């Protein structure tokens, strides 16, 4: 009997997307200027708790611009989580800088700040307000920490270390819009934070991103760089090499409609996670934990499969689920192992390597129905009988 395919994470477009997009088409405001772009920026800024927002074509572009406005120079080094999507590392290379990867902790899977502190204290020199990595001779100018899989990283701990060493902090919050950290929203404490509105993120604009900051001057620079560095209103005069990174009004219209549904999307993601936790308490299965200071949006609910205790590996379980028409996904190859970053330095890496072998993300779409989730749970339980 053919069974219905259950995807890992698909968009949910159930609100005002259609009327808002229609308005753009009816009025001709389809491109990179328009009221929806401004409204989308203002609404996200207010929601997250940052003063300024600059919408971009995608999250990767937002990260690239964030590093540029933080003053990251070619030949610099940037500390980056190694357990993340490749875009975090790519953005560093777009600036001509080099990533130094940082392992994560084993409970919440976020950047291990103790490793960052140890590296800065014991393996770098701090001279004239600059950090120099003794082994490479390069300047370390920024830290990019990622809020992985919907869960916040420990930003206060990182900010304390970064302050001591005069490092700029960029938060890759692309996976965690709406998550809470010590009462505030994720993305509200770093110097610059970035979000993505790709199709699989908690809200989508098809493709899109945003950069947020409380610093008016950095926001001005970011807006300038994302719009080809045009320096005259009337004429085509540009004062530096800029980028065509601005989000279109059409996409922002979808974003405004999606934002109206964000709280219900998060509630659904949390309910999905609770149900997995309730039903998957099986020998050999654990999952990404939630810190006492955090409230996760559970973007992708991710289990850890202990092969010996469960009776099969994460990849074997994935293949069984695939055969049952259920999509699941191993997490990213740690960036320190990626062919994209040969010979990169990594601080630790053992936790990341272990997660790569054992972690598996389960279907977590906002539209996942109870019978669909029951099918996923039954399929997993049957594998270990
Ligand atoms: C999705 C994602 C990005 C990039 O977002 P795009 O909009 O796809 O460019 C960056 N970092 C992380 C951690 C992501 O998950």
> Residue 122 — pLDDT band, cuts 50, 70, 90?
very high
Residues with CB under 6 A from ligand 1: 58-60, 84-85, 87-88, 146, 172, 174-175, 196, 198, 209
What is the dihedral sign for C-alpha 204, 206, 209, 210? negative
Above 80 in pLDDT, residue 152?
yes
pLDDT of residue 2: 65
- Arithmetic mean of pLDDT over the chain: 96
Distance from the CA of 2 to the center of ligand 1, in angstroms?
Answer: 34
The per-residue pLDDT for range 201-213, each reduced to its tens digit, is 999 999 999 999 9
The residues pairing with 99 across neighbouring beta strands, listed in sequence order, are 78
Pocket test for ligand 1, best of 11, 88, 145, 300 (most atoms within 8 A of CB): 88
Query: Residues 279-289: pLDDT tens digits?
Result: 999 999 999 99
Residue to substitute in 174, 193, 211, 245 for testing ligand 1 pocket (most ligand atoms within 8 angstroms of CB): 174
Distance CA 366, CA 262 (A): 10
pLDDT digits (tens, 9 = 90+) for 41-87: 999 999 999 999 999 999 999 999 999 999 999 999 999 999 999 99
Predicted TM-score (pTM) above 0.75: yes
Helix (H, G, I), strand (E, B) or coil at 303: strand
Q: How far is CA 216 from the centre of its chain?
A: 23
Distance CA 367, CA 233 (A): 44
Q: pLDDT tens across 175-197, in order?
A: 999 999 998 999 999 999 999 99
Q: What is the pLDDT of residue 129?
A: 87
**CA–CA gap between residue 106 and residue 153 (Å, rounded):** 12
Answer yes or no: are the C-beta atoms of 57 and 247 closer than 8 Å.
Answer: yes
114-142: average pLDDT: 96
**Closest atom of ligand 1 to CA, residue 62:** 9
> What is the Cα–Cα distance from 298 to 288, expressed in whole angstroms?
9
**Mean pLDDT of all residues in 101-122:** 98
Percent of the chain with pLDDT over 90: 95
C-alpha of residue 196 to centroid of ligand 1, in Å: 6
- State pLDDT tens for residues 68-79: 999 999 999 999
pLDDT of residue 224: 97
Cβ count within 10 A of residue 111: 32
Closest CA to 252 of 210, 223, 297, 194: 210
Give the model's pLDDT for residue 183: 83
> Which of 160, 172, 166, 164 has its CA nearest to residue 80?
172
Give me the pLDDT at residue 1, please.
58
pLDDT band at residue 233 using 50, 70 and 90 as cut-offs: confident
Atom of ligand 1 nearest to the CA of 91: 10
Residue range 89-118: average pLDDT? 98
Q: What separation in Å is there between the alpha carbon of 123 and the centre of ligand 1? A: 30
């Amino acid at each position: 009997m053919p069974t219905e395919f259950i995807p890992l994470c698909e968009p949910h477009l159930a609100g005002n997307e259609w009327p808002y997009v229609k308005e753009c088409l009816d009025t001709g405001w389809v491109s990179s200027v328009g009221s929806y772009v401004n409204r989308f920026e203002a609404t996200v800024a207010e929601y997250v708790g940052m003063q300024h927002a600059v919408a971009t074509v995608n999250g990767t572009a937002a990260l690239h611009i964030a590093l540029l406005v933080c003053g990251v120079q070619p030949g610099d080094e940037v500390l980056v989580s190694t357990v993340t999507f490749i875009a975090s590392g790519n953005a560093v290379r777009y600036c001509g800088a080099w990533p130094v990867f940082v392992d994560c902790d084993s409970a919440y899977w976020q950047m291990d700040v103790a490793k960052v502190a140890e590296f800065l204290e014991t393996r770098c020199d701090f001279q004239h307000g600059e950090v120099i990595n003794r082994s490479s001779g390069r300047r370390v100018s920024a830290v990019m920490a990622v809020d992985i899989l919907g869960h916040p990283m420990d930003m206060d701990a990182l900010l304390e270390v970064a302050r001591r060493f005069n490092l700029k902090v960029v938060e890759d919050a692309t996976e965690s819009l709406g998550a809470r950290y010590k009462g505030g929203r994720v993305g509200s404490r770093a110097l610059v934070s970035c979000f993505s509105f790709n199709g699989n993120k908690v809200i989508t604009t098809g493709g899109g991103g945003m950069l947020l900051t409380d610093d008016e001057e950095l926001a001005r620079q970011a807006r300038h760089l994302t719009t080809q560095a045009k320096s005259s209103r009337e004429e085509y005069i540009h004062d530096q090499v800029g980028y065509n990174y601005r989000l279109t009004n059409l996409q922002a219209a979808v974003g405004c409609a999606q934002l109206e549904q964000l709280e219900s999307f998060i509630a659904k993601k949390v309910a999905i996670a609770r149900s997995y936790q309730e039903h998957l308490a099986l020998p050999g299965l654990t999952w990404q934990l939630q810190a006492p200071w955090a409230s996760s949006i559970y973007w992708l609910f991710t289990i850890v499969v202990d092969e010996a205790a469960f009776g099969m590996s994460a990849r074997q379980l994935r293949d069984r689920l695939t055969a049952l028409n259920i999509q699941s996904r191993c997490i990213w190859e740690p960036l320190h192992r990626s062919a994209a970053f040969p010979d990169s330095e990594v601080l630790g890496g053992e936790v990341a390597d272990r997660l790569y072998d054992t972690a598996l993300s389960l279907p977590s779409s906002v539209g996942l129905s109870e019978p669909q989730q029951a099918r996923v749970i039954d399929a997993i339980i049957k594998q270990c009988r």
